[in-house]
Amino acid sequence: MGRLPRERTAVLVTGACFLAVVATAVLPAPLRAAPPGYEIQSFPLLEALQSGGQSLSADSKDWMKKWKGMNLEDSASYTFKELSGSTSINMKIEKIDASDPKGYKSRGSFVPRNSSANPDIEIAAFNLSAILGYDQIYRPGARYELGPVASQAFKTLIGKYHFAGSARLANKARILKAIQSGVPLKGCVKAKKDDTTVALDAIANTHAPSNGAPNAGHPIVRFLQAANDKPMAGRSLTLKAGYVGDELALAREYSVIMTIDAVTQQWDRYSGGNVAIRKDDQGRAHFYMTDNGGADLSDSWNSRNLTWFSRFDRGVIQKLSDLKQFLDAPATGYLGYSDPEVFVTDLGLYSQNSISINVQRLRRNLGFVLDYVKATETKFGDKAFFD
């Protein structure tokens, strides 16, 4: 992957929009050619990280390769036969491949904005995990907008399904209304889940108000309290039958997850089914966040997520501090960016609010999280960190 120009904020460009971009933007010559429609051209933040020398997980690189150049308007190459989701309504993507015994290869799912899923946060949570060096524990996601061909296929599929429950019926109505408007249907593509993925509801108290909370008695949650002993490297911890991992690695991973949840104001992690684990190539267990769309950079700040843990990864907090410094003082630069609005859009916050509001809210959220970490360190000293 070559270095991506920082002036670009969009991953997808349609014909008419592209002409406007060419007329107003200053782009390097190799990127002036018009793309053939609704095509994923690049992964700005991931490519910026790679250009800066940071490695990405094998999973992330694999899905970047699968999605690069994907154009769902190409009906000769892609097909849509099935919906997915529990309360949200997503469309599975299949790339036609005669060499595969199934006749296709999965390219994940398209997730539109609805009351049960926020695609902006799905993308942003994954990109934040990559910035923090933990993308291996997050399901990859990337920005995508459906064009008329794929939108019609989505509409046709929805018409073939029977939906029950107020949430799914409301989501159905919202999606159909958005398709009917005739504008590109904004959302994201999400990777296919790892085959070893299972839910870990034991870490959640699904009956706690509001919408659940961590199970205070779970060993991982106990390790994330600064008043308790630190987890030990090399000591095994069983999360679920057949899922055994390193105690310190698992606790560190979940601290990162809770940190990102606090930044993104995640409200739906503990309602059931939204904490997952999987196995690596050596059969060791790791956390694997597959559903992150139950979050919102809302007007108000809710400190609930921060009250649930008090032990942090020191390197992760430093990286969040570096990001906050850039948002406060853009002249300092960050990953080659000099404009916070470009950065925040590339992070994935592109469809819900104005760009300036997203910058303000991300800066605010980071500030609250970092203030909490500082207060916790003042109270507990080094016990607030794993090392």
pLDDT digits (tens, 9 = 90+) for 128-180: 999 999 999 999 999 999 999 999 999 999 999 999 999 899 999 999 999 99
pTM of the entire structure? 0.90
Task: Kindly list the domain boundaries of the chain, sorted by start residue.
Answer: 15-190, 198-384
pLDDT in tens, 169-227: 999 999 999 999 999 999 999 999 999 999 999 999 999 998 999 999 999 999 999 99
Kindly give, in sequence order, each residue whose CB lies less than 8 Å from that of residue 217, ignoring residues fewer than 6 positions away: none
Task: Please classify residue 304 by burial: count the beta carbons closer than 10 Å to its beta carbon, then call 0-12 exposed, 13-18 middle and 19+ buried.
Answer: middle
Beta strands in the chain (DSSP E): 78-79, 83-84, 90-96, 104-112, 141-146, 185-190, 198-199, 204-205, 213-214, 236-240, 243-246, 276-279, 285-287
